[in-house]
Structure 1
């Protein structure tokens, strides 16, 4: 059977520049070393021949693993008949980097340190890089100091091991070694562009220690006071790990094309920064007491958007603000569990999604105390421009927050977030300068609210539905009380919550986005927790929260969705929205009155 671990088998490594996935069996099956959205040198995640780097005992055994507390440094312990050995994996931080410096000048080095615990364990290393998502098979060259250089196209990789004479065998490196109790062997794999500076050279043990200290610096400055602190801190660490520090952009997920349904074609590239996800991340990091760099992160958003005119505000950007993210298929890749196509790029950048400005303005309002009494010019212009665009376009149909690719509709949640945009813009007006028009914004805001209340309600269904005039339920209706459009105790909203829970909910705490959705959507499940808490049902909300927690993997990681039959994780991973949902739901259980 082809190598195909479950999505939940993967652990997440990050240096806040790039990310890697390492399976329970010790195989690094995904690494895009230059940036989160750059071409992968290991893509076995999407094709058995896509490249990997495995270190594991020759003899099979029991595996247990955990992150070092408040880090994305992963320690996997293999218990075999020969003894026990630990493999610690990390993406190296720059020497001396601490906290929010992590990722500014990351050396693009993957560290793997093998430590003998008991007995004497025979280990096997299998290194098969395949740059450009498996399109390239590199030349391998043995180096005098015992390492191996791999070169192909624009990529140079150097693999080294302390005290290990590594040699290539054709297009890969295979190496067997023994580790006794108390013995440590370190490996480092360094990336660089083929025509620039050479790959960095690090001592794996020293670099690993530095990386742990860099992550631990976050713990020293962030203090979350609410319920479920361990889970919140894990999710906040994941969100930090998905942040591209150089610009402040937050990747929606680490991966591309992990399917929403096995064998299906809803396989999209999530390695970019959606403005909606970015704004929700800012709120979640505020809850988790991590808002320290709000000004810089909003500066990224303002510069990426640029001056706002008549065209819709783009939905997503590349990590340094690139706008054209045109989609293409990688026909040479089989896809995860033969789920094709595999896509690079995301054509959602062309869509109109009316809720996006509201998400961004709401995030500015949430963090305005960190942004100063007078906003910087670019931030003022962004908020005013977004508010003006909402005021002039809210009557148009759009693709909605689920980014449908069929036709535009008048989505209820989109209109409600247009209301949110103008409501928060009115509140921010004293900081927005002479171009602010709070009187007109307030009038349009009130018109939007009246329209949603009138057109979004379906008397026969007894709920606010997905779109005006539709009888189709949509879990995005749960977002209305979450953002304050309606209180959860409003009779119609209370009815909507119950109808969605009954018709779209499942016995194991999951909520589908719509009736034909084949999987539970983790974010929507956490929205239901928030709604129940705000509706005065704290025990029911807490019980549901505990159920959803049970769908995380052993490291506390969530993909986008959960299969209703098998309970397997589906979709891109780790998914920022899922972890955002956890953080906000935990805080809502702590303080249901929070706005």
Structure 2
């Protein structure tokens, strides 16, 4: 099997789990219990990892043509196949709970994949190839034909039932493989329902009516959020993607729904992103604020406060499981060869053990951004979290850390981390009226000013005339673009503008893609959108708009971004869809709308 490009995949979500479906009609990734649970379809990472293909027999043959699109304001994906025999549309979705609307969406998702086939013209021969492989492909389930024509699959802790009204399914030893034909006007609905093996049986839903109800649930959710600014369709779509990366039961936002898609081929830079980074969470809060979704803030902050717990002398955790789990230790799945043979495949992420000093600043900044919605006095858990984070920064900001890019070599005094320590103190001072008597405003302000002076002295390379990656380092880092974005320095400050120009010149190119550092092999999408914001703040709005449109053009055919883009080929690299990339797009669009960002 030829491995589809990362950009070939569309994304489905029920705000509980995520699935990836290729242009060829194969669902190659699904972790049905929740985003970070073991997969039942894992062909994304190994040819034997399991999949469910539903497509014309002519897929890949001469004359076969594919058109894909999401139904507006949803993650319901329509794939139209044009063949020599005729045309057919396959509509894919992860089911919402029947009747769920607005903020009920995703709270009780039934864990059911819906696939509805509709003949548009002619008579199209179709193929169904269903091979579930639970536990990241370790298990081959027992399959059993049921009296109603459906097929049950049982293995380990997983129960699956595949149904199609009007088409009896035939089980083979390790899957279901059969062909059928669809005439113009004919509709066939398939549903695949998951449940724990020792609990309630898988849900039984009518796929056609449930698909229609799922569309209504998405539309109702997005209709409750009004964005009025530049590039409204782009912003609404990215906000929808961010909603689809949210684990609705807790409010946690997964960095991506996938693991181990390579950032660079031939290396071991394959990581599991199916967790909630506090940094990404905080940036998501700003993006949701931009997309007119501030009402989510209270529940999301509640998740953050409860996950962090009481703050002591230990470093604030960098990331959590989706229900607040602290230990997400990493292990390798040696039986999986990895995407296009590029292993290792990892489950878990050992970055949870790192010290990253920027994290408190991101979280406190998110609270400040939404403070008008949180009342004159912050809720007790949220107030204690902000106080604890501020005090931890006050006592630790002088320490080295691993920085925003999470290198696994050694700690350094990263510029971006120190700047976010300044942000933590600055925003804590501003929040003081809502924090009560424990807010140590005078002390915090003094530390804020000391951090600023230290950054301006030790983070600026007088010889090169730019801000560098870390104190004492001559290297450039695109994270320096974050300084104007968070208000540390104006983009027009001569030192800052020289740094922006150097990053654009040395870490970017005519392709519009900004690399994080000099030997970073691909453009990092978030950094490119940071440059858009910097150009707006420097008064270069027209150039910023051109860059925004250029970078937006790297999204795949259904508007999804992975983490990085190969400048030579335009290929997507890293886990997908990537929250940070869509966050960057939303925030850059708003900066083009309102240069103050307020």
TM-score (norm 1): 0.99
Pick aligned residue for 2:267 from 253, 259, 264: 264
Indicate the residue corresponding to 2:537 in structure 1. Answer: 534
The CA distance in 1 between the partners of 2:16 and 2:2, in whole Å, is 27
User: Counterparts of 1:322-471 in structure 2 under 5 Å?
Assistant: 322-471=325-474
Partner residue in 1 for 2:172: 169
Structure 1 residue aligned with 2:138: 135
Indicate whether 1:552 and 2:550 are aligned.
Answer: no
* Partner residue, 2:185: 182
Shift of 1:582: 0.3
Deviation, 1:330, is 0.4
SS at match of 1:168: coil
User: How does 1:1-400 map onto structure 2 within 5 Å?
Assistant: 2-60=1-59, 61-400=64-403
Please show how residues 561-580 of structure 1 align to structure 2 within 5 Å: 561-580=564-583
Contact 1:262/1:337 (<8 A) preserved: no
Contact persistence 1:70–1:237 (CA under 8 A): yes
Cα distance in 2, alignment partners of residues 224 and 211 from structure 1: 22
Distance in 1, Cα, partners of 2:387 & 2:414: 24
Structure 2 residue aligned with 1:594: 597
Give 1:218 shift.
2.1
- Alpha-carbon distance between aligned partners in 2 of 1:112 and 1:262, rounded to the nearest angstrom: 33
Rounded to whole Å, the distance in 2 between the matches of 1:347 and 1:291 is: 32
3-state SS, counterpart of residue 20 of structure 2: strand
Contact 1:263 1:338 in 2 (8 A): no
Larger CA deviation: 533-542 vs 390-399: 533-542
CA deviation vs aligned residue, 1:128-177 (integer Å, no higher than 9, x gap): 00001100000000000000000000000000001010011110101211
- Name the counterpart of 1:482: 485
CA RMSD of aligned residues (A): 0.7
SS of equivalent residue, structure 1 residue 191: strand
Q: Deviations over 1:401-424 (max 9, x none)?
A: 000100000000000000000100
d(CA) in 1 for partners of 2:477, 2:21: 35
Deviations 1:101-154 (A, max 9, x none): 111100000000000000111111000000011000000000000000000000
**Structure 1 unaligned regions, length at least 5:** none
Q: CA deviation at 1:487?
A: 0.6
After superposition, give the CA deviation of every residue in 1:48-105 in whole Å (9 maximum; x if it has no partner): 1100000000123100010000000000000001100000000000011012211110
Aligned mates of 2:573, 2:73 — CA distance in 1: 25
Cα distance in 2, alignment partners of residues 560 and 291 from structure 1: 26
Contact persistence 2:222–2:240 (CA under 8 A): no
Q: Write out per-residue CA displacement over residues 355-395 of structure 1, whole angstroms, 9 at most, x where no aligned residue.
A: 00000000000011111122111101000000000000000
109-118 or 585-594, which deviates more = 585-594
State whether residues 3 and 48 of structure 1, in contact with CA within 8 Å, keep that contact through their aligned partners in structure 2. Answer: no
Query: Aligned partners of 2:132 and 2:248: how far apart in 1?
Result: 26
Contact 1:522/1:560 (CA < 8 Å) preserved in 2? yes
Following superposition, the deviation at residue 37 of structure 1 comes to 0.4
Shift of 1:552: 0.3
Q: Quote how far apart the aligned CAs of 1:591 are.
A: 1.3
Farther off after superposition, 35-44 or 54-63: 54-63
Distance 2:416 2:148 in 1: 60
Displacement after TM superposition at 1:219 (Å): 2.6
Q: Is this contact kept in 1: 2:563–2:578, CA < 8 A?
A: yes
The 10-residue stretch of structure 1 (169-178 or 156-165) with the greater mean CA deviation from structure 2 = 169-178
> Whole-Å Cα distance in 1 between the matches of residues 146 and 65 of structure 2?
36
CA distance in 1, matches of 2:356, 2:416: 10
Contact 2:265 2:342 in 1 (8 A): yes
What's the offset of the Cα at 1:245?
0.5
SS of equivalent to 1:8: helix
Shift of residue 280, structure 1, vs aligned partner: 0.0
User: Residue 263 of structure 1: CA displacement?
Assistant: 2.5
Displacement after TM superposition at 1:3 (Å): 3.3
Aligned to 1:492: 495
- CA distance, structure 1, for counterparts of residue 358 and residue 25 of structure 2: 42
Give the stretch that moved more between structures: 55-64 or 382-391: 55-64
